[in-house]
Structure 1
């Protein structure tokens, strides 16, 4: 498990690590630029997370085929996922080019400098949407065949390029916020090219197969709906915070980017679990799948406790890296307690999400996630401003959301139905 989780951790952490550096670089341009990045980046992250079934769904299907001894079939899942990624990526690009202005104004709470900054960033950064989705598909099939070191190398190449270009383009070159978007696209282009080269080297047909595409969309349907509700909930939270004030929005951007970064770090165990569970069930070994679930729960909990302690200890050192605005720092300190406190719960939730995805039990995950969002996250976020709870109210909603999901996945894994879920059966 650790041999799979370690390279998965690098892959998962690379993009959010770049976003954290990006946030720190842009934060030194001022609160308007930071708010613009929060709005534009939130919209692009929404699209990417909405379509992350290209990675997770492909992993589950490829792992089942690999577990049954059909490597060619596992790679073929990657080919079909790549075609799907290109089609969906072009649709996302067109959407943002047409509606960047209205969407950023809606999220920022009206016309103004923050909305304008977000629009300029989004129009450039969305050019990388097809590239980003192709990389998700590539990650998916390589995880399924337990080859996680190649994705690690590919993502590191692209992220390293972005990390070098971002501060150069933003400050010395003088592109400002747009420089951040250009660096983002350049890194995504390098990574996508490497993933395409990897699948081209395999001895499989590149012909699009409608039956396979439909089968991928079946498992993608539940993951898509789950991700849609999840991302809408986060967009609602960002919109609520934007109406509370610029300082609150800047602080929320810092805290939520750290949350996403740590979520993906903890998700390394989920990737390992998804691959191991999928291959175990593909080989008709349910006992091995259940053993994986037990181990990954302990690893997720232990890592979450460690992460929480590190966050609390390093708060005085980390926050000033993102901004020197006293108002933003004061608001970020409020969110920090919630950010740290939720990590042990999140460690278990994300790990068991991977177990259920590997088993193809995505319908249950969809229901639990939507229920937790509608009962906990969204109502408390919407109530935060009128009741005067501010940023603390939004983050209380996020904490309740994670806690409700924790109860749901623990109950499911304790039973046997997830071991017989049909969601990843090959078409």
Structure 2
């Protein structure tokens, strides 16, 4: 099967479909929250607790998409499409195995974890446990879809993942209100709709692999090589999650208004990061292809292009945030104290966007080059030196949200310096691709 691109794809040609795939799940969760919200505060709290645990596990295992993209792109760039598809097969085996392990974990530990997040036993913890036990059945399916996204991005086919993900998401969107309200299943109906949508998406990705005619025998050497990349990306993701949890804890101890403002700004930060991350996916694909084909000059030119796109988009987002500073915060809350704190944080949120645009784009460049060990060390170092100390000191020194968000800005700034220095050199061009037959 040949690529659906008639010529070399552009950064935007890859980034826009990637953005659709990235945005599908958050948009579905918004609708799911609105549907469940009509059941009352207990059901909504249960969804928040159970959904938070499921989202946390999916975020940690997202290396199945990013790691597979880098490896498949190297193979495809070298003219070995069969090898790129084989990477998808091995990633699918790994996804299924990890998915079953995490599924078993949640079946055993759903109760203790939901009670921990809910602050003890009670109706919210019980609702969260019930939702999580059903929704976690879809974890192997979700991880198989992540692996499918990875190898298709690697061979520069991003239109099919859009169709696959939208098919599953649309099914979930239709079933969610029907099962929750019409069928009377309540919160469990939300979980069932989620699993059925994931089953459709996973089936479409599996069908795409079958149609490639690839062999399905698991190759443990290739799986082990994928786990090496996965280990570095997993550690990186874990440090990010811990840092954000610490910042939220500090904000909570500062005051209710500060916590509310922090939550508003942080969710906007995550949403905007999702938008900018589309450039990282484009960079991964293009750089992996260039290096796989032995064209380092093209990889370096791609790095410059995606960095400029990230900078331009981040600058535009920053200008938009500042222009709407007096409009957006009141849309999230009518509490004057929360709005005042949000207006304070808004300056930090806007200021970091141009930096983040470049950082996320160059993260994708280094991932595409297989330089994930450097990214792991840089991210952990930036968190330990910048983000965590200022977050932890903000409480005792009474710096409030200004201290927490200064730490986040430093975290982005340190990462920016690190990726710029790395890309300016040559070592990333010869980073081990960890491709195993």
The two structures share one fold, judged by TM-score above 0.5: yes
Residue 157 (structure 1) aligns with: 167
Residue 106 (structure 1) aligns with: 116
1:234 CA drift (Å) = 2.5
Aligned residues: 427
Residue 272 (structure 1) aligns with: 282
Aligned counterpart for 1:141 among listed residues 151, 154, 159: 151
For the Cα contact (< 8 Å) 1:42–1:235, is it kept in 2? Answer: no
CA deviations on 1:373-394 (whole Å, 9 max, x unpaired) are: 1222233333444555555544
Aligned counterpart for 2:81 among listed residues 67, 71, 74: 71
For the Cα contact (< 8 Å) 2:63–2:234, is it kept in 1? Answer: yes
For the Cα contact (< 8 Å) 2:168–2:200, is it kept in 1? Answer: yes
1:318 CA drift (Å) = 5.1
The answer to whether residue 68 in structure 2 is matched with residue 58 in structure 1 is yes
Aligned counterpart for 1:95 among listed residues 105, 113, 129: 105
Residue 376 (structure 1) aligns with: 386
Q: CA 1:33–1:400 in structure 2 vs 1: closer, same or farther (change >3 Å)?
A: farther
Aligned to 1:423, what secondary structure does the other structure show? coil
Moved more, 231-240 or 152-161: 231-240
Q: CA 1:298–1:258 in structure 2 vs 1: closer, same or farther (change >3 Å)?
A: same
Q: CA 1:113–1:381 in structure 2 vs 1: closer, same or farther (change >3 Å)?
A: farther
Aligned-residue CA RMSD (Å): 3.0
Partner Cα distance (1:86, 1:316) in 2: 47
The answer to whether residue 125 in structure 2 is matched with residue 125 in structure 1 is no
1:52 CA drift (Å) = 1.3
Aligned counterpart for 2:243 among listed residues 225, 233, 246: 233
CA deviations on 1:238-267 (whole Å, 9 max, x unpaired) are: 444555667665655544333222212111
What are the ranges of 5 or more consecutive residues in structure 1 without an aligned counterpart? none
For the Cα contact (< 8 Å) 1:159–1:187, is it kept in 2? Answer: yes
Partner Cα distance (1:64, 1:98) in 2: 39
For the Cα contact (< 8 Å) 1:109–1:243, is it kept in 2? Answer: no
Residue 423 (structure 1) aligns with: 433
Q: CA 1:126–1:400 in structure 2 vs 1: closer, same or farther (change >3 Å)?
A: farther
Partner Cα distance (1:149, 1:412) in 2: 32
For the Cα contact (< 8 Å) 1:28–1:322, is it kept in 2? Answer: no
CA deviations on 1:101-126 (whole Å, 9 max, x unpaired) are: 33234345555665555444433332
Q: CA 1:163–1:144 in structure 2 vs 1: closer, same or farther (change >3 Å)?
A: same
Residue 4 (structure 1) aligns with: 14
Structure number, greater radius of gyration: 2
Partner Cα distance (2:366, 2:327) in 1: 37
What are the ranges of 5 or more consecutive residues in structure 2 without an aligned counterpart? 1-10
For the Cα contact (< 8 Å) 1:34–1:250, is it kept in 2? Answer: no
